[in-house]
Chain A
Amino acid sequence: AQTVTQSQPEMSVQEAETVTLSCTYDTSESDYYLFWYKQPPSRQMILVIRQEAYKQQNATENRFSVNFQKAAKSFSLKISDSQLGDAAMYFCAYRGRVARQLTFGSGTQLTVLP
């Protein structure tokens, strides 16, 4: 079974600074997808960024980028120029190529300090 581990329960960053959230996963599959989801307080989870395992290039979405290390099974999220609105719980998630459901990590609570 696949597992996703987020070893940082809480992180904080100063506004306008850069922060990196860590995620590792375990799988025997060679083709899969990885995601970072953001869950603001009392609001629904939204997709921040995704990475297809077959793509060597790291995904980027505006201020959000990932460092995908397939051999190390590592998938970290970098948030540049942090904003107050980035404060939320961030979940790393895995989906196999065939499976439809997501396997989530336990989350990292990000606080942005003004």
Chain B
Amino acid sequence: DTGVSQDPRHKITKRGQNVTFRCDPISEHNRLYWYRQTLGQGPEFLTYFQNEAQLEKSRLLSDRFSAERPKGSFSTLEIQRTEQGDSAMYLCASSLGRTLEAFFGQGTRLTVV
């Protein structure tokens, strides 16, 4: 499968713990995005990478959130000191250059208990 893959698909964690998610974009795609989707809502933009550079961050991305994309390949999203409000689906998407279409992964569903 050459689509966007995310790992894990599901994560249950206790409040206060740190969690890390991984996204592997389509191999030739230089742009990578993270979105958060809560139940009954559309995805909300979190952050965007072009190659290894993090070019934009949403105000939603508090200082407990950090994202990296070393070497411009896979990306990780870490949430420190998780809170119940962090429970959501975290979606990763990738795109190539000037193309308009973003390809999404299946997401990581985080539940904070």
Q: Tell me the number of A-to-B contacts counted with CB atoms below 8 Å.
A: 55
- Contact check, A100 vs B44: say whether CB atoms are below 8 A apart: no
* Bound Cα distance A43, B106 (Å): 6
Determine whether B85 belongs to the interface, using a CB cutoff of 8 Å to chain A: no
Q: Is B43 a contact partner of A100 (Cβ separation < 8 A)?
A: no
**A50-B100, A101-B48 in contact; A44/B31 too (CB < 8 A)?**
no
Cα distance A68–B100 when bound, in Å?
18
Known: A100-B31, A100-B56, A101-B56. A45 touches B41 (CB 8 A): no
B49: min CB distance to chain A, Å: 10
Contact of A44 among B40, B48, B101, B105 (CB under 8 A): B105
A102 touching B43, Cβ below 8 Å: yes
B65, CB-defined interface residue at 8 Å: no
Compute how far the CA of A46 lies from the CA of B41 in the bound complex, rounded to whole angstroms. Answer: 16
Q: Is the CB of A107 within 8 A of B41?
A: yes
B91: interface (CB < 8 Å):
yes
Kindly list chain B residues whose C-beta atoms are within 8 Å of the C-beta of A103.
Answer: 45
A44 touches B43 (CB 8 A): no
A60 within 8 A of B: no
Chain B neighbourhood of A93, CB < 8 A: 42
Q: Which of B41, B45, B106, B107 contacts A101 (CB 8 A)?
A: B45
Would B100 and A33 count as touching, CB distance under 8 A? Answer: yes
Please report which residues of chain B, range 47-78, place their CB below 8 angstroms from some CB of chain A when the two chains form the complex: 48, 50, 55-56, 58
CB closest chain-B residue, reference A50: B100
Q: Which of A9, A46, A91, A102 has the most CB of B within 10 A?
A: A102
Chain B residue, CB-CB nearest to A42: B106
> How far does the Cβ of B31 sit from chain A's closest Cβ, in whole Å?
6
Q: Which of A35, A37, A91, A100 contacts B48 (CB 8 A)?
A: A100
Q: Please report which residues of chain B, range 17-52, place their CB below 8 angstroms from some CB of chain A when the two chains form the complex.
A: 31, 33, 35, 40-45, 48, 50
Q: How far is A31 from B40 in the complex, measured between Cα atoms in Å?
A: 29
Question: In the complex the two chains form, what is the Cα distance from A102 to B101 in whole Å?
Answer: 10
| B16 adjacent to chain A (CB < 8 Å) | no
Taking CB atoms, residues of chain B closer than 8 Å to A25 are none
